[in-house]
Amino acid sequence: MDEIAFAFQIFDELVVPTFDKLEALLGDDVARDAVWRNDFCRYLSFVRDAFSGIASLAKEEATEEERRVYYATSDL
């Protein structure tokens, strides 16, 4: 569980401030020029990539019952 705590620490220290910067760029009083576009895309990519890694924290092994539910409710 130390690894998960470390992942959350990194998330809090890096992703949350970047998300705050991203939200600030969406303010009404912000000039939307080429610099804004570059910053917005960079921050958005960073946050998106961070959130895409969250799936790796999920349980890897599913019970037989869980697999039946997954298969019955998915397009696989």
Low-confidence residues of the chain, pLDDT below 50? none
Give the model's pLDDT for residue 54. 77
Phi, psi of 31 (to 5 degrees): -75, 130
Give the model's pLDDT for residue 27. 93
Whole-model pTM: value is: 0.65
Give the model's pLDDT for residue 58. 66
Give the model's pLDDT for residue 51. 86
